[in-house]
Amino acid sequence: MFGKLEEIEVKYDELEQELAQPDIFNDQERYKKVSKAHSDLGAIVKVFREYKKSSQELEDNREMLGDSDPDIQEMAKMEIDDIESRLPGLEEQLKVLLLPKDPMDEKNIILEIRAGTGGDEAALFAADLFRMYSRYAENNKWKIEEMSSNTTGSGGLKEIIASISGEMVYSKLKFESGTHRVQRVPATESQGRIHTSAVTVAIMAEAEEVDVDIRNEDLRVDVFRASGPGGQSVNTTDSAIRITHVPTGLIVICQDEKSQHKNKAKAMKVLRSRLLQLEQEKAKAEEDATRRSQVGSGDRSERIRTYNFPQGRVTDHRINLTLHKLPQVMEGELEDLTDALISHYQAEAMKRQGD
């Protein structure tokens, strides 16, 4: 590990020297590439240098144990205890920082939420989940944009698609894909019985055009008139778009905008992300054929989490984590869940590296 860290530090210094050259600003593409590489290595180098500094201080203090002055010996012992308590944590940080990066982590996402079993109650909970993710996005200073939605008369959501953009969005939300189960007493339930409903969440890395190759001849684009609830026409022009990707059978419909071009652009963004997700799932299936990931595949059929309102608790079944702070979670305070999932994934990845 330390040989690799030495190489990273040398590379970091080389990049720093290159950034110090005035002529690098003449080539903006090169400047961006070098800046990003330098930034990516910065966190590792910072911790490695702290580790080396602490290790050297440990050696220096061990030498001071042989000093004839008892006060210096006592001070050295205290320093040694302090450094020895810090070094394992730094070493653990370095192991995590050296894990292979998920190339998707820095990407924005397409969020899809769909009501599952449970009728109106499932649709209401889908709306609650969208609000929860919206609050979480706001807390992280991310931008959330609704792309398509299908509402119910009771204020629920049969389906909603939105894009979330900002810093490291996919890395923090990628483990949210799956079936979210809710247990609560619906407002319409006169007997006070608890109902169980389910909502599926899909988190897809937003694909750029360079990520997915889509041939025009593989697309069938249909234009039709957008309609509101109950078939009521909300548009007098044919602006709604249905795009079918013939090879996979994927269909994306977008009708929220009045402009046909805007609807098509949004539909293509969703289609690219779904195709990228298909590629990721295929690669994941091949990987899982040899080693099953402990975190779970993120498949939509998996029940990943239960929100129990009568008991005020939320349980993530993949890591057996239960939090008795459901109201806060529903207000977008997801850090305890997302951080625990990321830590679990990192621990499993380190375990696999050690095998």
Q: Supply the pLDDT for residue 229.
A: 44
Q: What is the mean pLDDT of the chain?
A: 83
Please give the Cα distance from 274 to 277 (Å, whole number).
5
Sequence-distant (≥ 6) Cβ neighbours of residue 293 within 8 angstroms: 284, 287, 348
pLDDT-based confidence at residue 158 (cuts at 50, 70, 90): very high
Sequence-distant (≥ 6) Cβ neighbours of residue 300 within 8 angstroms: 177, 178, 179, 200, 201, 202
Which amino acid is residue 194, in one-letter code? I
Q: Is 209 helix (H, G, I), strand (E, B) or coil?
A: coil
Here the tokens at position 212 are: 């997915």
Q: Supply the pLDDT for residue 309.
A: 94
**34-54 pLDDT, tens digit each:** 888 888 788 888 888 988 998
Largest CA distance in the chain: 94
Domains of the chain: 2-97 (1.20.58), 109-350 (3.30.70.1660)
Report the half-sphere exposure of 53 (CA within 13 A, side-chain side): 7
Give the residue with greater pLDDT, 312 vs 249.
Answer: 312
pLDDT-based confidence at residue 324 (cuts at 50, 70, 90): very high
Of all residues in the chain, what percent carry a pLDDT higher than 70? 87
